[in-house]
Copies of this chain bind each other. A is one copy, B any other.
Amino acid sequence: MNAHPHDQADTSVDQHAELILDLLTPTLGTLGSEQVPLADALGRVTAAPVLSPVDLPLFRNSQMDGFAVHAEDLASIPATLPIVGEVAARPGTPARLLPGTAVRIMTGAVVPDGANTVVPVEDTSVTLFTDAETVTIGRARAVGEYVRNRGSDAHAGDTLLPAGIRLGSRHLAVLAAAGITDIEVKRRLRVAVITTGAELIAPGEHALPGQVYDANGIALVAAIISAGAVVATTHRVVDDPEAMLVALEWAASTADLIVTSGGISMGDHEVVREVLGPLGAHVGHIAMQPGGPQATGEFQGVPVLGFPGNPVSTQISFEVFLAPILRALAGLPAAARHRRALSAALRSVPGKRQFLRGRIRADGRVEVVAGPGSHLVAGLAASDVLLDVPAHVIELNEGDLVETVDL
């Protein structure tokens, strides 16, 4: 492959990533939060620490099925005590337990005032008389055994969850247990997608010569959702600047960020460049492959990222520049990176950071899938990882280590 003519002026991937972060920082900083019911909170991120409104457990209760007694009555073993009743795990306040008596108690049931220990049923034997029962206890118990004290899990005012937690089932469980019904979570970033290209048609239509199916629309939507953000609106624009303006206005009215694909090359019918260039957008070239052409700008105060239109370029641009920001915002872990041995030698383009498509082999080595061409959508779909080959690398030998990024 030939070097790009603007190599001297090319921005590095890291510089461009920083530029994008700077562009988005005001938006990210003012996203704010919203109140959602617990049932809608799975996967959302806590906006503030959540304090417990109650003690957990709410009341002193039994850890076992057995008998609630006064520990003092077990001073000499075996001890036989009359059974004066039963406390089940159900609403109600049991009567105070008098010394020298026992009450049958179920797991989770209120331990009666007066009682200070629970003897598990397996350490007891019950004798039934005509009109009464006694329990004989064969093992002494210390005060408090098998008793779950009120507040022993959390006290009212304790922090149940810190801010910044991505809510999973165990987090929702403790909120529900504390009687909480709604929770303040960070608002998700709303992203608008505009794909451009005179050659694009929707899957399902009949492709005439020169037409291609729009893969970027669905890929960007899926990538945005996978990265924990929300799709605000999607548009497909051919090469009409008027239509592009309408799409941008619609997008800017509903989204926090606009992502476009295509329309930023050097050609004559480049609608993103044509519409956003005069508004101050920067259309430049990054020292990377694929994904060289990149644009950044704003439309009516909403940041715009312009990705190149080749489907592989679009998707890799998203993974490299936007996914890390969206994932961090959504409390998702960054894509995993590993150093792996190459299954075969490879050559890379000097001066460009290459993101090759690869697959992990059974022996743990990584092999390159398909070529570097930015049109190889099937090759990308068959890949598990990107190989991140630094700009200074010209060739690597079989067995050399290369950094991979999980897809």
Binding site for B on A (CB under 8 A): 2, 4-5, 38-39, 42, 52, 54, 56-59, 61, 63, 65, 88-93, 106-110, 120-123, 148, 152-154, 158, 160-161, 167-181, 197-199, 203-205, 207-223, 225-226, 239, 265-269, 309-311, 315, 318, 370, 373, 375-381, 383, 407
Identical chains bound together, number: 2
Bound form: Cα–Cα A208–B216 in Å = 56
CB pair A198–B168 under 8 Å, yes or no, is no
CB-based nearest B residue for A223: B169
Bound form: Cα–Cα A309–B198 in Å = 60
CB pair A158–B2 under 8 Å, yes or no, is no
- Could you jot down 22 A-B contacts, CB within 8 Å? A2-B122, A52-B378, A58-B211, A63-B373, A65-B266, A88-B267, A91-B198, A91-B208, A91-B209, A93-B209, A109-B199, A153-B370, A153-B376, A158-B378, A167-B222, A169-B223, A172-B218, A173-B219, A176-B217, A176-B219, A178-B203, A181-B203
Beyond the given pairs A63-B373, A108-B197, 4 more chain A to chain B contacts, judged by CB atoms under 8 angstroms and listed by A's residue number, are A52-B378, A92-B209, A177-B213, A179-B203
Bound form: Cα–Cα A109–B375 in Å = 12
CB pair A203–B180 under 8 Å, yes or no, is yes
CB-based nearest B residue for A6: B122
8 Å CB contact of A210 from B109, B268, B311: B109
Bound form: Cα–Cα A178–B217 in Å = 14
Bound form: Cα–Cα A379–B176 in Å = 14
Chain B residues positioned under 8 Å from A379 (CB to CB): 153
CB-based nearest B residue for A224: B169
CB pair B310–A108 under 8 Å, yes or no, is yes
CB pair A39–B153 under 8 Å, yes or no, is no
Chain B residues positioned under 8 Å from A181 (CB to CB): 203-204
Chain B residues positioned under 8 Å from A58 (CB to CB): 207, 211-213
CB pair A91–B210 under 8 Å, yes or no, is yes
CB pair A107–B265 under 8 Å, yes or no, is yes
Of A203, A265, A373, A383, chain B has the most CB atoms within 10 Å of the CB of A203
CB pair B265–A173 under 8 Å, yes or no, is no
Chain B residues positioned under 8 Å from A42 (CB to CB): 222, 225-226
CB pair B378–A198 under 8 Å, yes or no, is no
8 Å CB contact of A176 from B174, B203, B210, B370: B203
Of A93, A170, A199, A407, chain B has the most CB atoms within 10 Å of the CB of A170
With A57-B375, A88-B268 known as contacts, the answer to whether A204 contacts B179 (CB < 8 A) is yes
Chain B residues positioned under 8 Å from A171 (CB to CB): 381
Bound form: Cα–Cα A309–B88 in Å = 14
CB pair A176–B215 under 8 Å, yes or no, is yes
What is the distance, in angstroms, from A101's C-beta to the closest C-beta of chain B?
A: 20
Chain B residues positioned under 8 Å from A110 (CB to CB): 209-210
CB pair B311–A381 under 8 Å, yes or no, is no
8 Å CB contact of A170 from B56, B168, B176, B407: B407
Bound form: Cα–Cα A230–B261 in Å = 34
